[in-house]
Each structure stands twice: as C-alpha cells, then as structure tokens.
Amino acid sequence: MKRDFFSEFAGRWEGHDEKDWGARLLLLCEGILENKTKAQERLKDWVLGEQKQLDSYFAQEFQPMERLGLIANSPDLATFPSGSFLIHFTFRLRKPYISKDDTEFYIIDNPVRKDKVFKVPYVASTSWKGALRAAMVQELVEESKGMDSEEFAEKRFQLALLFGDEKGEGGTKIKDLAEFLDEAKNKEAAKNYRQKVKDYFEVKEDKSLPHHRGRLVFFPTFFKKIDLEVINPHDRKTGAGTLPIYIESVPENSEGNFTLLYVPFDRIGRGEEDKAKGLKTLQDEMADDLKTVAEGVQAMFTKYGFGAKTSSGFGRAILVAEDTHQFQEIKGMEERFAARNGLTEFPRWDDEELAKIGWGKRRQNAYKRLRSLDPDWDSEAGRWREPSPKPEIHRLVVINAPFGSTQLVNEVEDILKKMGEAK
C-alpha cells in the first residue's frame, strides 16, 4: 500500500497542503531523491519551527487514540487469575528518548519509532520487555558477587519465569544471553539453573530446555512530541564539523504512561503439585516477583535507561507526582494563607472583589499567585469555576488476590516512588 502511495505521487512530493501531516511526511521522504537537503530542511522546520506542525499533528491523533482506550488503558484485573498484578504510572523523560524505526524509506537515517497506524512516536511493548530484562539481568550480575551458586541460579530462574526462555538456549551451542549468564557466575550455578527449569516444566534430563513465555505482559507507550538531536563529528585537521547527523527523538519533559501486567498463568491448577516439590506458595512467589519487578523498573528508568544510546545518558525518566499530592499541597498552602490573614477558609474572589477588601498591593499579589495555582481558577476568564471534587488516589500497583495486602502495595509503591527522587 505504501509503495502504491509513492507510485501515485512519484515526482510530486511538494504542494499537498490538503493532506494530513502523516501523508505529507511520507511524501517528504520521496523528496530526498530529488533534493535531499531541501527535504531535510523542511523536516527541521516542521519539527523545530515555531509552529511545530508535527507536534500539533501528534496531539490531534491522540484524540481518537484516547477514545479507543489506547493511551492510558489498564486491563480489568478481575478477569485474570488470582495472583496477577498491574503496575501503571505516568513518567516524564529526564533525557530524550531515541529509538530506531523499521521504516524502509525516510528523510533522515535515524527516525524515531512510530506507530504504524497513527504515526505517533512510541515505545513498543517488545522494547519495554527488552529494556527491563536487560536492566534486571545487569542488576543480577552486579549482585552476583555476594551470592552463592544456588542463590544465583534461583534468581536467574525467577527471571526466566518472568520474561520467558533465554535467547541462545538450545541448539548445538549456548550463546547470547544464556552464554552471558553462564559466564557471570560458575558452572555449578549454570547447572543448577537448568535443573530448576527442567524440574519445573517436567522435562527429561536428556532433553534441552523448553521454550516458554514469561508472566509479564507489556503495553506500548505513546508520545505527543518529537525533536531532532544533532551530532556533528569534527574533522581532526580542521576541528570543525561539516556533515551533521540528525537523529529524531522524543524530547525531555515529554510524558508517557507505563503499564505492565503480571499473570502467573503457569501456576494455575498447580497448588498441590508445587507444594509437593517444595516450591514457594503462590502468595510468597507473587510478593517476591512484585518487589523484584518494581526494583527492576526503578533501575531501568533511573539507572540504565531505555531505547538507543542509553550508555550516553538517553532514555532516563522520573515518576510524575500524583495529582492528589499536588492538590493536597495547594489546599495546604491556601489553608495557611487563610489562617495568617484571619480567614476561616481561602476566599474565592475575582479581581473586582479583591480590590474592595482593602488589602495592600503586596498581600493582593500573594493572593493572586496562590489563586493561580488552584485548579478551579480560570485565568483566561478571570473567574472561579464550580468547585471540583478531590481527585481519587491513583495506586501505582493493583493486585488481584485475597492476599494482596495494603502493606505489600505500599512497600512496592515506595520503591517506584524513588523514581521521582532521581537526579
């Protein structure tokens, strides 16, 4: 279909203002065949110019996506087995996010990955899985010095149940991730790990490890903004760069939603069987997995990053504070202001009413500054809206289990909230 589109407009990549920006972006790709510099300059204008046409287009595309429940959609845990849990929160990029799109044809060599239907920048669910697994593997390797062979094998087995079988396992030679983790400890740890997998999935000793999916399910994250990073390699003789390299990115301070679902499907109907093998109860295993995953998520967002060029600091993010915290903070400041000025509550005055009170200019300005923070104040209309209800508390973690204690949820949320403290 894309090839038919390019064929229809071959040699006619300019002057299509009637088409949406997604189509115009595709047509601009064809412009590199005729005038690459001109096409790239136009992309720079669309991304970096005052009007930021592509950001406006992405914001427009978010409207149908939100109606379809694609932006902040969280599954109903009641439909999943007992022991399932959900981690869901909004994050803000502290450093730009860079990825590699799989498009065959584009204006520059380094486009950020975009959704195939709505064309907005996004982090694919598979990318989240790879980034989190890499972060948790790295954490395991760093902590391995303080572990014995059995403990390392148990932690490695836990990761295999969470993410699925390791890449490079099976065949005539062990390689990739499986080889890396074999070498991270010792032969005894590697042997113990494989024995645990075979015992759990009831695989015969002479057979290779089974292919199996993990318990974690990831959801994509979509963004409304795009930017261009510029790398300009300098000539060693002249000390100047002449061939800048443009890399599309999602800029820092952009916000997105992270959603992760845990479903222990492999434990269904295995209660007595696992008990006979001396394995953990579902309650203990879920609690351990939840804490381990939360620590991994915290490390991925603040320490290791996600996307491309993470070693250069890209792809770091912090947790966005809950609206309830901001709401409570504003109400607290209003109560203190009212008490200092002999009022029973913070008054809802417009400018005309404020002028009649007889306060000095300094006190009036203090009132106006605080009033501007209140979500009920309409600054454009210069008047108060109807009082809004106190926002509901949003939990970062939801557990579908009779044993999902409030204490466990609070402990895990404390781990995740450390992302808001990252520097």
| DSSP assignments along 133-150, one per residue | HHHHHHHHHHHGGG--HH
Please write the tens of the pLDDT for every residue from 199-235: 999 899 888 889 999 999 999 999 999 999 887 766 6
Tell whether 47 is covered by a domain: yes
Domain end residue (candidates: 157, 185, 215): 215
The helix (H) or strand (E) run that includes residue 231 is strand 227-231
Across the range 307-313, mean pLDDT stands at 93
Residue 138, domain extent: 125-215
pLDDT at 67 over 80: yes
Tell whether 294 is covered by a domain: no
The model's confidence at residue 239, banded by pLDDT at 50, 70 and 90, is low
- Do 358 and 269 share a structural domain? no
- Do 422 and 309 share a structural domain? yes
Tell whether 389 is covered by a domain: no
Tell whether 181 is covered by a domain: yes
Tell whether 284 is covered by a domain: yes
Determine the pLDDT at residue 173: 83
State which of 69-78, 136-145, 356-365, 374-383 shows the largest mean pLDDT: 136-145
- Do 412 and 272 share a structural domain? yes
Number of separate domains in the chain:
4
Mean of the per-residue pLDDT values for the chain? Answer: 85
Token pair 């982090």 is found at: 123
pLDDT at 388 over 70: no
- Do 166 and 32 share a structural domain? no
- Do 264 and 242 share a structural domain? yes
Please write the tens of the pLDDT for every residue from 259-280: 999 999 998 877 766 777 777 8
Residues in the chain: 423
Q: List the alpha helices (DSSP H) in 164-266.
A: 176-184, 187-201
- Do 12 and 156 share a structural domain? no
Determine the pLDDT at residue 14: 67
Is-contact 248 111, C-beta < 8 A? yes
Q: Is the pTM of this model over 0.75?
A: yes
The angle, 0 to 180 degrees and rounded to 10, between the axes of the packed helices 125-143 and 176-184 is: 20
Which is more confident, 158 or 370?
158
Long-range pairs for 381-385: beta carbons < 8 A, 24 or more residues apart: 382/350, 382/351, 383/350, 384/348, 384/350
Tell whether 293 is covered by a domain: no
Q: Which residues of 74-97 are buried (b: 16+ CB within 10 A; e: fewer)?
A: ebebeebebbbbbbbbbbbbbbbb
The Cα–Cα gap between 248 and 226 comes to: 7
- Do 112 and 69 share a structural domain? yes
Tell whether 130 is covered by a domain: yes
- Do 69 and 197 share a structural domain? no
- Do 333 and 190 share a structural domain? no
The Cα–Cα gap between 107 and 110 comes to: 9
- Do 264 and 203 share a structural domain? no
Lowest model confidence (mean pLDDT) among 159-163, 189-193, 204-208, 400-404? 400-404
Is-contact 230 244, C-beta < 8 A? yes
- Do 416 and 284 share a structural domain? yes
- Do 46 and 63 share a structural domain? no
The helix (H) or strand (E) run that includes residue 331 is helix 323-340
The Cα–Cα gap between 195 and 202 comes to: 10
Tell whether 390 is covered by a domain: no
